[in-house]
Structure 1
Amino acid sequence: MLKFPMSKQAGFTLVELVTTIILISILAVVVLPRLFTQSSYSAYSLRNEFIGELRQVQQKALNNTDRCFRVAVSNTGYQVSQFSTRTDTVCTGTALSPNPLYSQAFQGGAQLVLVSTNSTNFTLDFDSLGRLFPTCNGSCIRVTANDTVLINVSSEGYIYAN
Protein backbone atom coordinates (compact mmCIF):
# COMPACT_ATOMS: atom_id res chain seq x y z
CA MET A 1 0.00 0.00 0.00
CA LEU A 2 1.28 3.40 -0.96
CA LYS A 3 1.25 6.22 1.51
CA PHE A 4 1.13 9.79 0.29
CA PRO A 5 2.45 12.54 2.49
CA MET A 6 -0.22 14.89 3.81
CA SER A 7 -0.10 18.17 1.96
CA LYS A 8 -1.75 21.31 3.19
CA GLN A 9 -4.65 22.40 1.07
CA ALA A 10 -4.29 26.03 -0.10
CA GLY A 11 -7.05 28.16 -1.55
CA PHE A 12 -9.99 30.41 -0.79
CA THR A 13 -13.34 29.42 0.60
CA LEU A 14 -16.51 30.14 -1.28
CA VAL A 15 -17.51 32.83 1.25
CA GLU A 16 -14.19 34.67 0.76
CA LEU A 17 -14.56 34.58 -3.02
CA VAL A 18 -18.15 35.84 -3.00
CA THR A 19 -17.31 38.64 -0.55
CA THR A 20 -14.38 39.77 -2.70
CA ILE A 21 -16.48 39.74 -5.86
CA ILE A 22 -19.20 41.81 -4.17
CA LEU A 23 -16.69 44.40 -2.93
CA ILE A 24 -15.04 44.70 -6.34
CA SER A 25 -18.42 45.11 -8.07
CA ILE A 26 -19.45 47.87 -5.63
CA LEU A 27 -16.20 49.70 -6.33
CA ALA A 28 -16.65 49.27 -10.08
CA VAL A 29 -20.20 50.63 -10.05
CA VAL A 30 -19.85 53.48 -7.55
CA VAL A 31 -16.28 54.71 -7.28
CA LEU A 32 -14.57 54.12 -10.61
CA PRO A 33 -16.97 56.18 -12.80
CA ARG A 34 -16.40 59.17 -10.53
CA LEU A 35 -12.66 58.83 -10.84
CA PHE A 36 -12.51 58.58 -14.63
CA THR A 37 -15.30 60.90 -15.78
CA GLN A 38 -16.90 64.05 -14.52
CA SER A 39 -20.32 63.22 -13.16
CA SER A 40 -23.44 65.17 -14.08
CA TYR A 41 -23.73 65.70 -10.34
CA SER A 42 -21.38 68.65 -10.80
CA ALA A 43 -24.08 70.62 -12.64
CA TYR A 44 -26.52 70.05 -9.79
CA SER A 45 -23.99 70.92 -7.11
CA LEU A 46 -22.92 74.10 -8.95
CA ARG A 47 -26.58 75.07 -9.36
CA ASN A 48 -27.29 74.60 -5.66
CA GLU A 49 -24.12 76.44 -4.67
CA PHE A 50 -24.91 79.38 -6.96
CA ILE A 51 -28.54 79.57 -5.76
CA GLY A 52 -27.24 79.73 -2.19
CA GLU A 53 -24.81 82.47 -3.14
CA LEU A 54 -27.51 84.48 -4.93
CA ARG A 55 -29.84 84.20 -1.95
CA GLN A 56 -27.08 85.35 0.40
CA VAL A 57 -26.30 88.36 -1.78
CA GLN A 58 -30.02 89.09 -2.04
CA GLN A 59 -30.29 89.13 1.76
CA LYS A 60 -27.31 91.48 2.02
CA ALA A 61 -28.94 93.82 -0.50
CA LEU A 62 -32.22 93.76 1.43
CA ASN A 63 -30.50 94.47 4.75
CA ASN A 64 -28.07 97.14 3.48
CA THR A 65 -30.09 99.56 1.38
CA ASP A 66 -27.24 102.10 1.40
CA ARG A 67 -24.86 99.66 -0.34
CA CYS A 68 -24.99 97.52 -3.41
CA PHE A 69 -23.93 93.92 -3.84
CA ARG A 70 -23.07 92.47 -7.24
CA VAL A 71 -22.45 88.96 -8.50
CA ALA A 72 -20.12 89.08 -11.51
CA VAL A 73 -19.99 85.89 -13.59
CA SER A 74 -17.24 85.14 -16.10
CA ASN A 75 -16.12 82.12 -18.12
CA THR A 76 -13.86 80.99 -15.30
CA GLY A 77 -15.99 81.60 -12.20
CA TYR A 78 -17.96 84.18 -10.26
CA GLN A 79 -17.30 86.71 -7.54
CA VAL A 80 -19.33 88.85 -5.16
CA SER A 81 -18.39 92.51 -4.69
CA GLN A 82 -19.77 95.32 -2.59
CA PHE A 83 -20.25 98.82 -4.03
CA SER A 84 -20.68 102.16 -2.32
CA THR A 85 -23.94 103.27 -3.95
CA ARG A 86 -26.68 102.12 -6.26
CA THR A 87 -29.38 103.54 -8.42
CA ASP A 88 -32.79 101.91 -8.32
CA THR A 89 -31.53 98.73 -9.95
CA VAL A 90 -27.80 98.92 -10.75
CA CYS A 91 -24.66 99.15 -8.62
CA THR A 92 -22.76 102.39 -9.16
CA GLY A 93 -19.74 104.03 -7.62
CA THR A 94 -16.57 102.23 -6.73
CA ALA A 95 -16.09 98.89 -5.08
CA LEU A 96 -15.63 99.25 -1.32
CA SER A 97 -12.84 96.71 -1.34
CA PRO A 98 -10.33 95.94 -4.10
CA ASN A 99 -10.81 92.25 -3.35
CA PRO A 100 -14.17 90.56 -3.85
CA LEU A 101 -16.16 89.44 -0.81
CA TYR A 102 -16.28 85.95 -2.25
CA SER A 103 -14.85 84.30 -5.32
CA GLN A 104 -15.39 80.84 -6.77
CA ALA A 105 -13.72 79.24 -9.80
CA PHE A 106 -15.51 76.77 -12.04
CA GLN A 107 -14.07 73.28 -12.46
CA GLY A 108 -14.25 70.70 -15.21
CA GLY A 109 -15.56 73.00 -17.93
CA ALA A 110 -18.67 74.05 -16.01
CA GLN A 111 -20.22 77.40 -16.83
CA LEU A 112 -23.15 79.67 -16.05
CA VAL A 113 -25.08 81.28 -18.91
CA LEU A 114 -27.57 84.15 -18.69
CA VAL A 115 -30.48 82.79 -20.73
CA SER A 116 -31.83 86.15 -21.96
CA THR A 117 -28.54 87.13 -23.67
CA ASN A 118 -26.90 83.70 -23.98
CA SER A 119 -23.81 85.23 -22.40
CA THR A 120 -21.26 83.64 -20.06
CA ASN A 121 -20.01 87.07 -18.88
CA PHE A 122 -22.68 88.99 -16.98
CA THR A 123 -23.41 90.79 -13.72
CA LEU A 124 -26.38 90.39 -11.41
CA ASP A 125 -27.50 93.20 -9.09
CA PHE A 126 -30.40 93.30 -6.64
CA ASP A 127 -32.64 96.28 -5.97
CA SER A 128 -33.71 97.28 -2.46
CA LEU A 129 -36.72 94.92 -2.70
CA GLY A 130 -34.55 91.90 -3.52
CA ARG A 131 -35.47 91.76 -7.20
CA LEU A 132 -32.84 90.73 -9.69
CA PHE A 133 -31.44 93.05 -12.33
CA PRO A 134 -31.36 92.40 -15.24
CA THR A 135 -35.05 91.65 -14.84
CA CYS A 136 -35.88 88.00 -15.18
CA ASN A 137 -38.99 85.91 -14.79
CA GLY A 138 -38.75 82.15 -15.20
CA SER A 139 -35.64 80.32 -16.39
CA CYS A 140 -32.86 82.89 -16.05
CA ILE A 141 -29.54 81.10 -15.66
CA ARG A 142 -28.42 77.89 -17.33
CA VAL A 143 -25.85 75.78 -15.50
CA THR A 144 -23.85 73.59 -17.87
CA ALA A 145 -21.43 70.81 -17.01
CA ASN A 146 -21.94 67.20 -18.17
CA ASP A 147 -25.62 67.95 -17.69
CA THR A 148 -27.65 71.14 -18.10
CA VAL A 149 -29.94 72.47 -15.37
CA LEU A 150 -31.71 75.80 -14.89
CA ILE A 151 -32.01 78.42 -12.17
CA ASN A 152 -35.35 80.23 -12.09
CA VAL A 153 -36.13 83.64 -10.65
CA SER A 154 -39.67 84.90 -10.13
CA SER A 155 -40.65 88.50 -10.86
CA GLU A 156 -40.82 89.09 -7.08
CA GLY A 157 -37.20 87.93 -6.65
CA TYR A 158 -37.63 84.35 -5.41
CA ILE A 159 -34.69 82.23 -6.61
CA TYR A 160 -35.31 78.50 -7.06
CA ALA A 161 -34.16 75.39 -8.91
CA ASN A 162 -36.14 74.05 -11.84
Structure 2
Amino acid sequence: MRTGLYPGTFDPVTHGHTDIIRRACTLVDRLVIGVAINRDKGPLFTLEERVAMVEAECVPLGQNVGCEIVVHPFENLLIDCARDVGASVIVRGLRAVADFEYEYQMVGMNRAMDHSIETVFLMADAKNQAIASKLVKEIARLGGDVTKFVPPAVKDQLLAKLGK
Protein backbone atom coordinates (compact mmCIF):
# COMPACT_ATOMS: atom_id res chain seq x y z
CA MET A 1 0.00 0.00 0.00
CA ARG A 2 1.48 3.33 -1.06
CA THR A 3 0.91 6.10 1.49
CA GLY A 4 1.18 9.79 0.73
CA LEU A 5 1.19 12.78 3.06
CA TYR A 6 -0.42 16.08 2.08
CA PRO A 7 0.45 18.65 4.77
CA GLY A 8 -0.97 22.11 5.39
CA THR A 9 -2.68 24.32 7.93
CA PHE A 10 -6.05 24.20 6.13
CA ASP A 11 -7.27 27.40 7.78
CA PRO A 12 -9.78 26.93 6.19
CA VAL A 13 -9.81 24.12 3.64
CA THR A 14 -10.43 25.55 0.14
CA HIS A 15 -11.38 24.28 -3.30
CA GLY A 16 -7.66 24.44 -4.11
CA HIS A 17 -6.93 21.99 -1.29
CA THR A 18 -9.74 19.63 -2.27
CA ASP A 19 -8.59 19.63 -5.89
CA ILE A 20 -5.05 18.61 -4.89
CA ILE A 21 -6.44 15.97 -2.52
CA ARG A 22 -8.72 14.52 -5.20
CA ARG A 23 -5.80 14.30 -7.63
CA ALA A 24 -3.36 12.95 -5.03
CA CYS A 25 -5.78 10.10 -4.40
CA THR A 26 -5.05 8.84 -7.91
CA LEU A 27 -1.36 8.47 -6.99
CA VAL A 28 -1.60 6.66 -3.65
CA ASP A 29 -3.73 4.05 -1.92
CA ARG A 30 -3.81 5.94 1.37
CA LEU A 31 -3.55 9.71 1.73
CA VAL A 32 -2.80 11.20 5.12
CA ILE A 33 -3.80 14.83 5.34
CA GLY A 34 -1.44 16.36 7.87
CA VAL A 35 -3.06 19.31 9.62
CA ALA A 36 -0.21 21.42 10.94
CA ILE A 37 -0.42 22.99 14.39
CA ASN A 38 1.79 25.88 13.18
CA ARG A 39 1.50 28.39 16.04
CA ASP A 40 3.48 31.00 14.08
CA LYS A 41 0.64 31.43 11.58
CA GLY A 42 -1.97 32.22 14.26
CA PRO A 43 -4.83 30.27 12.66
CA LEU A 44 -8.41 31.54 12.82
CA PHE A 45 -9.80 28.08 13.45
CA THR A 46 -8.71 25.81 16.27
CA LEU A 47 -6.90 22.60 15.45
CA GLU A 48 -10.02 20.61 16.27
CA GLU A 49 -12.15 22.77 13.96
CA ARG A 50 -9.65 22.45 11.10
CA VAL A 51 -9.40 18.68 11.52
CA ALA A 52 -13.20 18.37 11.54
CA MET A 53 -13.54 20.53 8.40
CA VAL A 54 -10.89 18.54 6.54
CA GLU A 55 -12.49 15.23 7.58
CA ALA A 56 -15.97 16.36 6.54
CA GLU A 57 -14.85 17.71 3.16
CA CYS A 58 -12.11 15.26 2.19
CA VAL A 59 -12.84 11.76 3.49
CA PRO A 60 -15.77 11.43 1.02
CA LEU A 61 -13.43 12.44 -1.84
CA GLY A 62 -11.26 9.43 -1.09
CA GLN A 63 -14.24 7.12 -0.80
CA ASN A 64 -15.37 8.16 -4.27
CA VAL A 65 -12.10 6.97 -5.84
CA GLY A 66 -11.16 4.10 -3.53
CA CYS A 67 -8.44 5.90 -1.60
CA GLU A 68 -8.33 5.80 2.18
CA ILE A 69 -8.04 9.31 3.61
CA VAL A 70 -6.84 9.83 7.16
CA VAL A 71 -6.62 13.24 8.85
CA HIS A 72 -3.62 13.54 11.16
CA PRO A 73 -2.73 16.65 13.21
CA PHE A 74 1.01 17.21 13.62
CA GLU A 75 3.45 19.68 15.18
CA ASN A 76 6.79 18.02 14.50
CA LEU A 77 9.02 18.27 11.43
CA LEU A 78 7.26 17.39 8.19
CA ILE A 79 9.77 14.63 7.45
CA ASP A 80 9.18 13.15 10.93
CA CYS A 81 5.43 13.26 10.36
CA ALA A 82 5.94 11.46 7.04
CA ARG A 83 7.90 8.74 8.83
CA ASP A 84 5.29 8.54 11.63
CA VAL A 85 2.46 7.85 9.17
CA GLY A 86 4.49 5.56 6.91
CA ALA A 87 4.42 7.90 3.90
CA SER A 88 6.77 7.22 1.01
CA VAL A 89 5.74 10.41 -0.74
CA ILE A 90 4.92 13.97 0.32
CA VAL A 91 2.38 15.73 -1.89
CA ARG A 92 2.66 19.49 -2.30
CA GLY A 93 0.43 21.81 -4.30
CA LEU A 94 1.92 24.66 -6.30
CA ARG A 95 0.00 27.76 -7.32
CA ALA A 96 2.76 29.93 -8.75
CA VAL A 97 6.50 30.17 -9.37
CA ALA A 98 6.96 31.82 -5.96
CA ASP A 99 5.59 28.66 -4.31
CA PHE A 100 8.17 26.59 -6.16
CA GLU A 101 11.14 28.52 -4.77
CA TYR A 102 10.09 27.84 -1.18
CA GLU A 103 9.11 24.24 -1.90
CA TYR A 104 12.40 23.57 -3.70
CA GLN A 105 14.33 24.54 -0.56
CA MET A 106 12.02 22.43 1.60
CA VAL A 107 12.56 19.37 -0.61
CA GLY A 108 16.32 19.78 -0.34
CA MET A 109 16.18 19.91 3.44
CA ASN A 110 13.77 16.97 3.66
CA ARG A 111 15.94 14.88 1.30
CA ALA A 112 18.99 15.64 3.46
CA MET A 113 17.09 14.29 6.49
CA ASP A 114 15.57 11.26 4.73
CA HIS A 115 16.37 10.51 1.10
CA SER A 116 13.87 7.62 0.97
CA ILE A 117 10.82 9.95 1.03
CA GLU A 118 10.02 11.59 -2.29
CA THR A 119 8.14 14.84 -2.83
CA VAL A 120 5.61 15.18 -5.65
CA PHE A 121 4.34 18.56 -6.82
CA LEU A 122 0.86 18.96 -8.25
CA MET A 123 0.14 22.20 -10.05
CA ALA A 124 -3.05 23.92 -9.02
CA ASP A 125 -5.81 23.78 -11.56
CA ALA A 126 -6.02 27.12 -13.39
CA LYS A 127 -9.34 27.98 -11.71
CA ASN A 128 -7.76 27.50 -8.27
CA GLN A 129 -4.40 29.21 -8.72
CA ALA A 130 -5.37 32.42 -6.95
CA ILE A 131 -7.03 30.74 -3.97
CA ALA A 132 -5.16 31.12 -0.70
CA SER A 133 -6.70 30.53 2.73
CA LYS A 134 -5.28 33.84 3.93
CA LEU A 135 -7.05 35.74 1.15
CA VAL A 136 -10.28 33.80 1.63
CA LYS A 137 -10.33 34.82 5.31
CA GLU A 138 -9.69 38.45 4.40
CA ILE A 139 -12.44 38.49 1.75
CA ALA A 140 -14.90 36.98 4.24
CA ARG A 141 -13.79 39.36 7.02
CA LEU A 142 -14.46 42.33 4.74
CA GLY A 143 -17.90 41.11 3.68
CA GLY A 144 -17.01 39.60 0.30
CA ASP A 145 -18.50 36.43 -1.14
CA VAL A 146 -16.24 33.38 -0.76
CA THR A 147 -18.63 30.92 -2.44
CA LYS A 148 -16.22 30.35 -5.36
CA PHE A 149 -13.32 29.50 -3.06
CA VAL A 150 -14.57 27.13 -0.35
CA PRO A 151 -17.14 24.34 0.04
CA PRO A 152 -20.57 25.48 1.34
CA ALA A 153 -20.15 24.03 4.85
CA VAL A 154 -16.74 25.69 5.18
CA LYS A 155 -18.23 29.01 4.06
CA ASP A 156 -20.88 28.70 6.77
CA GLN A 157 -18.28 27.91 9.43
CA LEU A 158 -16.06 30.77 8.28
CA LEU A 159 -18.88 33.30 8.39
CA ALA A 160 -19.98 32.03 11.82
CA LYS A 161 -16.43 32.26 13.13
CA LEU A 162 -16.22 35.86 11.91
CA GLY A 163 -19.65 36.71 13.35
CA LYS A 164 -21.17 37.44 9.93
TM value normalised by structure 1: 0.25
Greater relative CO (CA pairs within 8 A, separation 6+): 2
Larger radius of gyration: 1
